[in-house]
A = this chain, B = another copy of it.
Amino acid sequence: MKTIEGLTTDEERAAAIFRALGNPARVRIVLELARQDACVTSDLVEVLPLAQSTVSEHLKVLREAGIVRGGVGREPRYCLEPDVVRWLAKFCFDICCPAGECSCEGESACEATAGCACG
C-alpha cells in the first residue's frame, strides 16, 4: 500500500482502525467484548470457528489499532476501549453530518446516534 502524503493524523488513524475492523472475525470479537467485557482468549476461541493462534493474532491486530486493551502480563483479560470506538463513531458522523451544517433532519440513523441519553 502506497503512503498518501498530506493525510491528516485523524485520517490515518481512521484508516488504521477501519482496516482493523474490516474482518468478520474481528467484528465478532469486538461485539463479543461489547456484550461481555473482560474476556480471556479462550472465551473468544470458543465463539469463533478459528484456531487459537489465529484468534490471538486477530486480538493483536485489534490491540495495535487501539481498539482493545489487555492480553499482556498482569492484564490477561481483553477489554474494549470505548473511547476509540466513540472516536470512530464521531469520525463517521462528521462525514455525513459536518459540524454546523447537518442536513439529515429527522432521519432515523441520525436520530439514533443523537438519541443517546448522555450529553
Binding site for B on A (CB under 8 A): 1-5, 7, 11-12, 14-16, 18-28, 30-31, 34, 48-50, 80, 82-83, 85-90, 92-99, 102, 104-107, 109-119
Contacts and interface: CB of A to CB of B under 8 A. Distances in A.
A40 B103 CA distance: 23
B102 A117 contact: yes
Can you tell how many copies of this chain the complex includes? Answer: 2
A89 B86 contact: no
Secondary structure class of chain A's binding surface, majority of residues: helix
Greatest chain B CB density within 10 A among A5, A102, A106 is at: A102
B86 A102 contact: no
B49 A24 contact: no
Greatest chain B CB density within 10 A among A24, A31, A110 is at: A24
Contacts of A27: 7, 11, 14-15, 18
B109 A87 contact: yes
Contact of A24 (B1, B28, B89): B1
A14 to B, nearest CB: 6
